[in-house]
Amino acid sequence: MKHWSAFSWIAVLALGLSACGRDAEPTMRRYREIATSASAHAGHDHGDSGGAAPMRNAPGGMSDMAAPGAPAVTAANEPVAWTTPEGWTEQLGNPMRIATFIVGAERVECTLTAFPGAVGGIEENLQRWARQINLQVAPDTLAKFARSPNTFKTEGDFPCLTYDFTSLAPDADPSILAAILPLEDRTLFVKLTGPRTLLEEQKEAFTALCRSLRP
């Protein structure tokens, strides 16, 4: 019989102690995945002012950005210039709402917005704006209204179609002055919603703002 040396016995004992310290079965580890909503990381509006003032909705109306049925598209980013009418206060916005103008003692909003493409067409936008002031318009009446804008070219040679909702519904209060500028790759909108008397007072200034639009 072979005799084991003391060193051999020490090696065996060491291996035995090492084996005793191991689990008989592999240890199961459980991990919990933590997901965060993309909206939690969304950036702030990045208007030219570095942080625009909060937007207020006009009395009797609502912001285009929050309106039911508003087009959910990303705005075009090409720059637009204008001349602010005298007496109006300008607030810079973001790529979708380019600017907001505070108008009159009532401090109602006139908005300048931009969207890529045709954004649903003229009649669809007119109908959406009519709903914002709780105005029910028959389709044939709306179609006739859509075909009869006041049209002109702006300083920047943009085609501009303006619509006065007081001609569509003389008794509606509040009412809307709106302009649609269909460009090659985007559509610009100018919209003033407010009391009918205010719109009558500010119609000339509204038209001047629209005429001043340029690249």
Quick: pLDDT tens for 27-63. Answer: 343 333 333 333 333 332 333 333 333 333 334 334 4
Across-strand partners of 151?
A: 161
Average pLDDT of span 170-175: 94
Res 77: pLDDT: 58
CATH architecture, range 48-211: 3-Layer(aba) Sandwich (3.40)
Distances (CA, A) of 100 to 19, 132, 149, 180: 76, 18, 23, 16
DSSP 81: B
Res 25: pLDDT: 46
Res 64: pLDDT: 54
- The number of helix segments (H) and strand segments (E) in the chain equals 5, 7
pLDDT at 18 over 90: no
Res 130: pLDDT: 97
Count CB-CB contacts under 10 A for residue 54.
6
Dihedral of CA atoms 91, 95, 97, 101 in degrees, nearest 10, equals 20
**Closest of 69, 100, 75, 62 to residue 176, by C-alpha:** 62
Quick: pLDDT tens for 55-100. Answer: 333 343 344 544 434 443 444 557 899 999 999 999 977 767 999 9
Average pLDDT of span 173-184: 96
Where is mean pLDDT largest: 11-15, 30-34, 43-47, 188-192? Answer: 188-192
pLDDT at 9 over 70: no
Both tokens assigned to 88:
């109006």
| Domains of the chain, residue spans | 48-211
User: Which backbone phi and psi does 23 adopt, to 5 degrees?
Assistant: -70, 145
